[in-house]
Structure 1
Amino acid sequence: MRVALFVTCLADAMFPQVGRATVELLERLGHEVVFPEAQTCCGQMHINTGYQREAVRLVEHQVDTFAGYEAIVAPSGSCVGSIRHQHATVARRAGRVALSHRAEELGERTYELSEFLVDVLGVTDVGARFPHRVTYHPTCHSLRMLRVGDRPLRLLREVRDIDLVELPGADQCCGFGGTFALKNADTSAAMLSDKLRNVLSTGASVVSAGDSSCLMHMGGGLSRLSTVAGTTARPVHLAEILAAT
């Protein structure tokens, strides 16, 4: 299958290893991965902060850039959630009916990584090996918007030599929420504290998730804790674990 990678802003600018891991994983499974170089931000941050009119151009650009590809895969439940559940609505509210139909069709071909692996390719054992103790945080958008369910855990359970431990309060938000962490810093910090307390209670050396944004938030908290509590737990994206051999 010829797959288009939608790398997302965070992976492109801050976590390129996540994009590389996604490509390595899909190629190892025998698929051709292409990178449409015209891709930009999908517009999620504009939509979520009320700039829907400004987001229309980004929705249109997303549709144009990924037209013609059989499947589009992104290592982000958050961005895929926006494409699938927000883009058509934004276009329709702007009176762009034809664009809204194209956005709906694109949403049907756009997948979060674990969805694509399990539902489209029909695989759970991707040939990975990761000899570490890992706990998994299901991010809010993947859990509630995309309803990926246990797909990431089904993939992780098949990883060789992994010690996968359940995260207490796994369905609780880590406190990031995009601009929520900026606009409601105290609440965000309190939510992060609760999340990290649960992560550390597992004794895991790695906390994984399907969104770099949440991992960035948790990673910042863990780095601060490392200086005062000596913890060595670190964030690792799901794609990186699945690409490891």
Structure 2
Amino acid sequence: MNAAPADQIRLLDVQALDLRLTQLAHRRETLPEHAEIRAVEAELAQQRDLLVAARTEESDTAREQAKAEQDVDQVRQRAARDRQRLDSGKITNPKDLESLQSEIASLARRQDDLETIVLDIMERHEAAQARTKELTGAVEEMEAKRVEVAARRDAALQEIDTEADAVRAERAEVVAAVPDVLLKLYDKLREQQGGVGAARLYQRRCEGCRLELNITELNEVRDAAPDAVVRCENCRRILVRTPQSGL
């Protein structure tokens, strides 16, 4: 294949622009904000789960407290009725009187037990309320952090995309002056060779594979016509000759 030396040198410009696009794509994928937002979202999901559990505990203890207080109230009302009967003087049978007094005493013990239970539930309910408040604050803080990190990520992505658009526009201008057949070979080699399809021959060394050409290879390159498209014998990339090639 033949191509004007100027067109071959333009390939180096295209290659430089393609490498920049590759770097920008890599930077886009590996922005630290990506990892940061994943960590924030994982922590946020955990905090939300804990908040759901705390709210459930708060709701459950509220119902439990209401039920226990209702039980206390029922016992208290029953005891009040029994004392009213006792104080009325209508019960004169000693056995019935003893039974009533025994029930009043039993109800008093039951009330004490229930009130203890209520206090225990109240403590658990207050603890659940405090935990809910704490976790609500934590969730709100993590949500705000997620918004902040996402904003930084989006700004960084916008900056990268803007630069990438400019590079692509510049590349389009450069490749417009490169013969199609040469460009197709370059693109094919770039796909095969990890993103580098053309490399400069600098001081007898291929800048694609970083290997120095042996004397036989150098003689072949020296003897090649200026418009001949030469290839590196080691990596098979297009080898672009310049005044710094060391020939």
> Normalising by the residue count of structure 2, what TM-score does the alignment of the two structures yield?
0.28
* Bigger fraction of residues in strand: 1
* Bigger fraction of residues in helix: 2
The one of the two structures with greater contact order (alpha-carbon pairs below 8 A, sep at least 6) is: 2
> Normalising by the residue count of structure 1, what TM-score does the alignment of the two structures yield?
0.28
